[in-house]
Structure 1
Amino acid sequence: MQAGLDFLYPPRCAGCGAPGTEWCEACQARIRRLTGALCPRCGAPHPRRGACTACRALELPLIVRSYARYEGVLTRAILHLKYRPNQRLAARMAGWLAEVCRRDNWQPALVIPVPLSPRRLRRRGYNQMDLVAAALAALLGIPLGSDALSRVRETRSQVGLDPVGRRLNVEGAFQASRDAVQGKEVLLVDDLFTTGATLAACASALREAGSGDVYGLTIGRASSGP
């Protein structure tokens, strides 16, 4: 199917539009990776020892890492996948996340994408993070838990909310399946880290259902985060 689609609609780079590939080497070179000295809890650039000030205030119930800064061509790629189910781009992004997971020597037992609300899923037709999480689970050789976490109430968009508003907006919005997660270390996957509110709400639901340690991986990290 993908070959037929490529014939009818030749692939173009999601970052710059160059023909022939879903992601070109020039755009890869423009990404600012998040490596080096990072907060051990939220993954923010942090030259000092221990958790950063903002992270301590949030009391994140999981450890988070992001692949790169949410800017420029990476922003365009994330938005492209959000509105177009590009399997090749999702697989490319999964490769980025697998690299981070292996670098930090995480060994989760289950990969779970952050779920959309039923209303947003019906409107969009797919969850882009399902695509990334499925490819990531295959790369890591562990199960995918697409149904292990669900959004049990509608929430408004997080865009425009301050950190407190974001936390309150998603508080109690998720529920995890005890049968699926009990005793397992879980890897949550999302596209963007801004304040960590969504990942924190998901992790709290997982821990309440009896999961082991929870890790979070995002493709991008917004500069407004901690």
Structure 2
Amino acid sequence: MDALSRLHAWLLPWRCLLCGDAGSAGLDLCHACAAELPRNTSCCARCALPLPGAVALCGACQRKPPPWNAAWAPFRYGWPLDRLEARYKFGRDLAAGRTLARLWQGTVPTIARPALIVPVPLHRGRLRQRGYNQALELARPLGRALGVPVRYDALLRPRATAAQTELDAASRRRNVRGAFALREGVALPAHVALLDDVMTTGATLAECTRVLRKAGVARVDVWALARAPSPRHRSS
């Protein structure tokens, strides 16, 4: 623990955001709650979908591969990470956001390191409403930890879209079609990682990938803090 962390622990001890017990390991999570975080250790190499066994690719990626090259999502979207994510994304709980960022920094990328990280943008109306872009706030500390620059303004979201949360897969694809654009005059490297907080169907990331491909990016990977499981693999 560095000097700043020791000072923080003395002046303002970490407190678990989930159960209220004392935090541990420099996190606002206790040891027991941190141990419950669902790691995405067995997943599809192409889309990071959690799988029950050691299978290289899920059935969907075998039938129709997504437009990106590979995916990295170190956690599954489930209890108790989903509670922290909801508080951060919809409840303006920045302490939960800092905890999620620290958790992501504590993981090791399973795919090649990119030359640039590009967070998925928000439409300006949604940004005003929320006050911050949750993907960007996760990308900044992760980029610093990995030594990879973050370009927050490369992609634009000129068209407002409905929230994806209540839409099915087909509706999600229609909802984001044509919603993203590359900022004029932006030059991108050959290998870019698109970053979002949670990957569900991948519709948003796929649309962003197509924009980057059209701009000449040779390899696009997708990074997400957490990957939602397929309904048939979800626990009750």
TM range (shorter): 0.7 to 0.9
Question: Which secondary structure state, in structure 1, belongs to the residue aligned with residue 144 of structure 2?
Answer: helix
SS at match of 1:168: helix
> How far is 1:40 from its partner?
2.2
Q: Deviations over 1:54-108 (max 9, x none)?
A: 2345531112222122111101111222222236324313314x51x2x33x120
Identity of aligned residues (%): 39
CA RMSD, aligned part only? 2.9
1:52 aligns with 2:55: no
Distance in 1, Cα, partners of 2:142 & 2:156? 19
Structure 2: gaps of 5 or more residues: none
Are residue 80 (structure 1) and residue 82 (structure 2) matched? no
Alignment-derived partner of residue 141 in structure 1: 147
Are positions 1:68 and 2:68 aligned together? no
CA distance in structure 2 between the aligned counterparts of 1:142 and 1:124, rounded to whole angstroms: 26
Matched with 1:182 is 188
- Whether the 8 Å CA contact 1:182–1:212 is kept in 2: the answer is no
Q: How does 1:11-160 map to 2 (within 5 A)?
A: 11-20=14-23, 21-36=27-42, 38-46=43-51, 47=53, 51-57=57-63, 59-62=65-68, 63-82=70-89, 83-86=92-95, 88-96=98-106, 98-99=107-108, 101=109, 103-104=110-111, 106-160=112-166
Distance 2:16 2:186 in 1: 37
- Deviation sequence 1:114-140 (CA, Å, 0-9, x none): 111111100111112211100011011
1:205 pairs with 2:211 = yes
Aligned residues: 220
- For the residues of structure 2 that align with 1:6 and 1:116, how far apart are their CA atoms? 34
- Identify if the C-alpha distance between structure 1 residues 166 and 9 changes in structure 2 by more than 3 Å, giving closer, same or farther: farther
CA distance in 1, matches of 2:214, 2:71: 19
Could you tell me whether the CA contact under 8 Å between 1:13 and 1:24 is conserved in 2? yes
Residue ranges of structure 1 left out of the alignment (5+ in a row): none
**Which SS does the other structure have where 2:38 is aligned?**
coil
Give me the whole-angstrom Cα distance separating, in 2, the residues matched to 1:183 and 1:70: 30
